[in-house]
């Protein structure tokens, strides 16, 4: 089974792109499955089900969504194998710019949109930096110049990535994306494979349910801001 991981900020167009991609690949219905990792809630299952794509949802709740991803991705692969998929696509909503749910050797796609501001690529961090392919959506709404500047800023952060412009509504551009997916690795398990980047060591008191503000309640890994006197 081929495994592809897709990540990107909320509403950047991940679901739209994945759906158009599946349509473009023209494989028998039920041979591509999707696992959606999200934080609190998501309506993506409705879109996938409507398109006849088998989908499994998982919500991280109070855990960092990327920690949650790592602890469940092997189970996702096993579900995919049991279901007899030829291809499994994971969609995760990147919520913290410090994380990236990418695995060494597994084709990784980051989806971002042109509307988020031209400097955004320079701020996204590992999710963009460690992707093999960066898909840029919503190019239909901005000028050619902005698309070019956007691509330039992506290159600054990830010199090696392939940058593809895809329209999540019309599917324009998915054809070339589908071609790249043919190179994706066949897997049966992810056991012993490595993440591309460490997930943050978020083990402070607030991770585990603390809600009160104040020095006395802060424990574990803390990082304090420095305020200069003026």
Partner 1 sequence: MTTPDFMKTINSQTMAAVIQQYPIAMDFLANYRLNDILKDRPLPKALDQVEDEILEEFGLERDDIVQNFCMFLETFSQTETSLDSVWSITINGGVNKLKEPENISLTISAGEIISIVGPTGSGKSRLLNDIECLAQGDTPTQRQIMVNGAEIDDLQRFEMDGKLVAQLSQNMNFVMDLTAREFLEMHAKSRLTANVDEVVEKCFQCANELAGEKFSEDTKVTQLSGGQSRALMIADTAYMSESPIVLIDEIENAGIDRRQAVLLLAKKEKIILVSTHDPLLALSADKRIVIKNGGIYKIIVTSEAEKRNLAAIEKFDSTLLMLRNSLRTGELITEELLEL
Ligand X SMILES: Nc1nc2c(ncn2[C@@H]2O[C@H](COP(=O)(O)OP(=O)(O)O)[C@@H](O)[C@H]2O)c(=O)[nH]1
Point out which residues bind partner 1 (CB under 8 A).
Answer: 98, 114-115, 117-118, 122, 125-126, 139-146, 148-149, 151-153, 155-157, 159-160, 162-165, 170, 172-173, 175-176, 179-180, 197-198
Q: 174-181 and 14-25 helices cross at what angle (nearest 10)? A: 70
Query: In the structure encoding, which two tokens stand for residue 124, read together?
Result: 């996204």
Please identify, using beta-carbon distances, which residue of 12 and 153 lies nearer to ligand X: 12
- Side-chain-side CA neighbours of 208 within 13 Å: the count stands at 10
Judged by phi (left if over 0) then psi (alpha if -120 to 50, else beta), residue 171 lies in: left
Handedness of CA 203, 10, 190, 192 (dihedral sign): negative
Please identify, using beta-carbon distances, which residue of 49 and 210 lies nearer to ligand X: 49
Q: Does 38 interact with Mg ion (rule: CB under 5 A)?
A: no
131/133 Cα distance (integer angstroms): 5
* Least distance from Zn ion to the Cβ atom of residue 83, Å: 28
Angle, CA 201 vertex, CA 193 and CA 122 arms, to 5°: 85
The only residue of 5, 12, 15, 120 in contact with Mg ion, by rule CB under 5 A:
15
The one segment of 42-50, 167-175, 189-197, 202-210 that binds Mg ion by CB under 5 A: 42-50
Query: What residues numbered 39-98 form the site for Zn ion, per CB under 5 A?
Result: 64, 66, 96
Which residues of this chain interact with ligand X, rule CB under 6 A? 8, 10-16, 137-138, 140-141, 167-169
């Amino acid at each position: 089974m081929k495994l592809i991981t897709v990540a990107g900020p909320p509403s950047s167009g991940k679901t739209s792109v994945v759906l158009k991609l599946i349509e473009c690949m023209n494989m028998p219905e039920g041979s591509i499955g999707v696992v959606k990792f999200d934080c609190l809630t998501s309506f993506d299952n409705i879109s996938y089900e409507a398109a006849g794509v088998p989908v499994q949802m998982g919500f991280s709740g109070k855990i960092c969504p990327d920690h949650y991803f790592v602890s469940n991705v092997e189970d996702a692969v096993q579900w995919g194998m049991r279901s007899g998929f030829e291809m499994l696509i994971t969609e995760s909503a990147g919520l913290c710019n410090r994380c990236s749910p990418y695995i060494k050797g597994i084709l990784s796609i980051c989806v971002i949109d042109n509307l988020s501001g031209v400097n955004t690529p320079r701020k996204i961090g590992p999710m963009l930096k460690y992707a093999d392919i960066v898909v840029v959506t919503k190019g239909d709404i901005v000028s050619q110049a902005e698309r070019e500047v956007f691509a330039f800023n992506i290159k600054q952060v990830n010199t090696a990535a392939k940058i593809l412009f895809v329209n999540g509504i019309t599917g324009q551009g998915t054809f070339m994306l589908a071609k790249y997916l043919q190179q994706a690795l066949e897997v049966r398990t992810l056991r012993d494979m490595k993440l591309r980047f460490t997930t943050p060591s978020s083990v402070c008191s607030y991770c585990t349910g603390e809600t009160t503000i104040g020095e006395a309640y802060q424990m574990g890994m803390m990082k304090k801001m420095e305020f200069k006197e003026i």
